[in-house]
């Protein structure tokens, strides 16, 4: 498995698509996700000849999980060092949820690297309801009950219609968590603490100068419309789209609509 060593830790990464592609797209994961979570998005970019980079942030599934809280600046710097290692100096970034927040930090800190940014179901600040959701996740991650963890967090990230129509899919995902390494939950708690204590970027959004696409699921109760509208209002060169009938995990719930948006936006800015 490919790992990149940075700041004393190992980051798992994958490179897909056309290795000689003139354009590179980097996908940044949601907090509970991994590189494989982009299975609905990667093939459409592969088909058009893009070079694709994916990686697990520290604390995530396949990467090292050092103790303590992290910072979004650290995530952004580690992504930049990975891109340097791979010889990429200009790219399109696509991030969902926690990954969208890392992508914004990356665009603010490394504007010369960022050709465009697509932000899916993300926030630049927290409110009290979101803090309570995260507090609940930390509790579920601490009780050594993988299935309980899944069912505890599922109502906050999937829409009612998706849950109703995909119960077997969700049961399969819940059962699969029983086989995951217990250090996964240790990493999750570190990431939740980072999200809770280090996410305050609203005042810096005007520093994102590249073209930006902001997307939100209409039924996202975890990071609802108001947060994405705040992003779009404060990022100067942004486009804003709402996907009807989707909860927080738009990459799973409405992949075809989302892919049309993402691909069209990246092509336009290639």
The pLDDT of residue 10 is above 90: yes
Cα 82 to Cα 206: distance, rounded to the nearest angstrom = 26
Is residue 122 within 8 Å of 231, Cβ to Cβ? yes
d(CA 33, CA 49): 25
Q: How confident is the model at residue 207 (pLDDT cuts 50, 70, 90)?
A: very high
Q: Which of 261, 211, 220, 267 is nearest to 241 (CA)?
A: 261
Give strand ranges (E) for the chain: 3-6, 9-17, 24-28, 51-55, 91-96, 114-120, 212-217, 238-243
| pTM recorded for the entire structure | 0.97
Q: Are 89 and 113 in contact (CB under 8 A)?
A: yes
- Residue 189: how many CB atoms within 10 A of its CB? 17
Contact 210, 109 (CB under 8 A): no
Give the span between the Cα atoms of 99 and 8, in whole angstroms: 22
Evaluate if residue 104 carries a pLDDT over 90. yes
Instruction: Note the pLDDT of residue 68.
Output: 87
φ and ψ of 237, to 5 deg: -105, 65
Q: How far is CA 199 from CA 73, 125, 188, 204, 231, in A?
A: 10, 6, 16, 11, 13
pLDDT > 90? residue 27: yes
Query: Are the C-beta atoms of 134 and 195 separated by less than 8 Å?
Result: yes
Residue spans of alpha helices (H) in 29-176: 42-47, 72-85, 98-109, 128-141, 146-157, 160-165, 167-176
pLDDT of 172 strictly over 90? yes
The mean pLDDT value for 89-96 works out to: 98
Q: How far apart are CA 270 and CA 73, in angstroms?
A: 26
Give all domains of the chain, ordered by start, each with its CATH number. Answer: 3-126+199-268 (3.40.50.1820)
| Gap between the Cα atoms of 114 and 152, Å rounded | 36
- pLDDT tens-digit series, residues 44-85: 999 999 999 999 999 999 999 999 899 999 999 999 999 999
Phi, psi of 34 (to 5 degrees): -150, 180
* Res. 95: pLDDT tops 90: yes
244-260: string of b/e by CB count within 10 Å (b at 16+)? eebbbbbbbbbbebbbe
Contact assessment for residue 29 and residue 37, using Cβ atoms and an 8 Å cutoff: yes
pLDDT in tens, 212-257: 999 999 999 999 999 999 999 999 999 999 999 999 999 999 999 9
Alpha-carbon distance of 137 to 73, in angstroms, equals 23
- The pLDDT confidence band at residue 148, using thresholds 50, 70 and 90, is very high
């Amino acid at each position: 498995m490919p790992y990149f060593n940075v700041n004393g830790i190992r980051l798992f990464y994958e490179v897909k698509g056309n290795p000689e592609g003139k354009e590179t797209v980097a996908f940044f994961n949601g907090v509970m996700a991994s590189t494989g979570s982009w299975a609905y998005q990667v093939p459409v970019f592969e088909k058009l000849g893009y070079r694709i980079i994916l990686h697990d942030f520290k604390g995530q599934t396949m990467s090292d999980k050092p103790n303590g809280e992290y910072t979004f600046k650290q995530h952004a710097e580690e992504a930049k060092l990975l891109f340097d290692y791979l010889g990429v100096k200009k790219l399109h970034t696509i991030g969902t949820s926690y990954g969208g927040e890392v992508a914004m930090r990356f665009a603010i800190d490394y504007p010369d690297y960022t050709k465009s940014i697509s932000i899916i179901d993300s926030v630049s600040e927290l409110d009290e309801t979101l803090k309570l959701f995260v507090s609940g996740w930390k509790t579920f991650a601490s009780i050594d009950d993988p299935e309980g963890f899944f069912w505890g967090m599922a109502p906050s990230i999937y829409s009612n219609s998706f849950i109703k129509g995909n119960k077997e899919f969700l049961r399969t995902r819940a059962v699969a968590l029983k086989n995951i390494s217990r250090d996964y939950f240790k990493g999750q708690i570190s990431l939740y603490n980072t999200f809770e204590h280090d996410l305050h970027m609203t005042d810096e959004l005007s520093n994102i100068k590249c073209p930006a696409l902001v997307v939100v699921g209409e039924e996202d109760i975890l990071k609802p419309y108001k947060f994405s509208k705040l992003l779009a209002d404060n990022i100067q060169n942004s486009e804003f789209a709402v996907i009807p009938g989707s909860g927080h995990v738009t990459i799973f719930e409405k992949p075809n609509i989302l892919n049309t948006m993402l691909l069209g936006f990246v092509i336009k800015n290639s």
